[in-house]
Chain A
């Protein structure tokens, strides 16, 4: 185990810091004045009721939305306004709430596309194929096969993803995000619509990604059991405002969070 992993989450370096982010669409305020940070190597959950601004927050982090106010600091450097593909080349990958795979392509091609940011050969080399382009392709194929092994999807390697069941599609999507070797992985409801077994599999993959690859993860999830078990720290949003932030135990005890989201168990 590396030193980073042995430290408790509170003492690790900060990977990403968002300061006073506000985002509005016309007159609708999606996010109001939110600040939090994500530390290196932790699993950070973002929870809250529907419409709380969780997905908007992820969209801000990977450059898809541009907040009107506030700053984002990634790896100690304040980040300028950027396009999503820049965020991808700077080590931020994500999955989507509704599966956003490339349906006409095979599992293998989907995950290979995720490695596009790491491949360098230009159009002319690729037109020739034989030589450098083929070598590069094989090199990256090996890396992708490791991910395929890791996610246990060898048997669907060449199947068009449109034909796969939902749970497997979610897994392929995780594979596509992992292929880019991100330093920060954003997961938007990785377990939505899954049965218990699939959720357990996905939880295991998330923990393994975190411990084996050392990837920092920020995830949105509605299954409180999963969130409390998986995450090191949780940030709670409601109506675009932050109402809680801390370890799962701290959040669970926070009265605002209970009122807005968790509720109280029936006697």
Chain B
């Protein structure tokens, strides 16, 4: 009932290659998007903004970026935290150097700066693969964080070594700094993530996406049928870093407002993003969101349940939270090694036939 493709005939290639080929799926998607844009802002409060929705959106953006590199192009990276730091510091320097600059432009330009840095650190991928590349990207992680600690120019010689986002307005409403209303920051983050998820989908379904996947699946064959490894790999690093840079810029500007590199952008963040794409589903745009949702929302849910509902002590609850999330990660990876997105795909396969599976 919910999910039918009977009678949904495609008469053109354009119709056949759309993102949501089945009508009920399309309706569901747009209903979800309209709710996210038009309903949620009226009900959002400070808690939902800072602890749930903004973290989810920012991490979704980072996971999207990393998924393009790891899931689509097959280049393992452990430099996500470092690249997020580049995005954050680029945003800070742009905001302080050009106070008049539009905040959205700041965020996108920070992504651009990160893309350039990412391309430089992507160069080793032309020579080394797999785990060795992961170790090479680890260099980016530690080097970049070290740079932002070492050179005071990056944090404008502030005494604390922290960077703090100044207040910026968008259409007369503050979207960064302590006075920004929750709905405004939420809408900015949602818009950015929505637009770039759509762009990500477009890139991965066209020629460039196929070339990335060709490199991932069999690099020698890809080269022999005309995929230039240099272009494919470096473009994947560029696009991926662009996304991660935007995530880092949002992390700093509209989520935390003040960060210090060692803690905010450490190796833990790199692992976190990598777990998101693995749990969510490598090579899937939806999977990036599911993975981010799993690792961001589930702990919040568990905490509310254990502390809020059951009245447990916070420290015990936090231990249980780590154990439960860890166990669930293992459980899901055993049940479906291709991630939550694959589970969703299988569910859809079942729904297509339901209630007559034969």
Interface of A toward B, CB cutoff 8 Å: 62, 64, 83-85, 87-89, 93-94, 96, 100-105, 109, 112-114, 116-117, 119, 121, 123, 126-129, 133-134, 137-138, 141-142, 145, 176-177, 180
Contact of B220 among A100, A116, A138, A180 (CB under 8 A): A100
With known contacts A126-B202, A138-B13, A105–B225 Cβ distance under 8 A: no
A100 touches B226 (CB 8 A): no
A85, A87, A112, A134 pick with most chain B CB within 10 angstroms: A85
Q: How distant is the Cα of A114 from the Cα of B208 in the complex, in angstroms?
A: 12
Q: How distant is the Cα of A73 from the Cα of B222 in the complex, in angstroms?
A: 24
The residue in chain B whose Cβ has the minimal distance to the Cβ of A59 is: B224
Interface of B toward A, CB cutoff 8 Å: 12-14, 17, 199, 202-203, 205-208, 210-211, 213-214, 216-218, 220-229, 235, 239, 283
Q: How distant is the Cα of A133 from the Cα of B185 in the complex, in angstroms?
A: 33
With known contacts A88-B226, A127-B199, A105–B213 Cβ distance under 8 A: yes
6 closest pairs, A vs B, by CB?
Answer: A88-B226, A100-B221, A102-B217, A129-B202, A117-B226, A126-B206
The residue in chain A whose Cβ has the minimal distance to the Cβ of B231 is: A85
Q: Shortest CB–CB separation between residue A124 and chain B, in angstroms?
A: 10
Main secondary structure on A side of the interface with B = helix
With known contacts A88-B225, A180-B225, A180-B226, A138–B207 Cβ distance under 8 A: no
Contacts of B205 in A (CB 8 A): 129
| A-B pairs with beta carbons under 8 Å apart, 5 shown | A85-B228, A94-B225, A100-B220, A138-B12, A138-B17
Q: How distant is the Cα of A85 from the Cα of B208 in the complex, in angstroms?
A: 15
Q: How distant is the Cα of A83 from the Cα of B283 in the complex, in angstroms?
A: 28
A87, A94, A127, A180 pick with most chain B CB within 10 angstroms: A127
With known contacts A126-B206, A137-B206, A64–B221 Cβ distance under 8 A: no
Contact of B17 among A114, A119, A141 (CB under 8 A): A141
Q: Shortest CB–CB separation between residue A89 and chain B, in angstroms?
A: 6
Q: Shortest CB–CB separation between residue B285 and chain A, in angstroms?
A: 13
Contact of A126 among B12, B13, B203 (CB under 8 A): B203
B214 touches A62 (CB 8 A): no
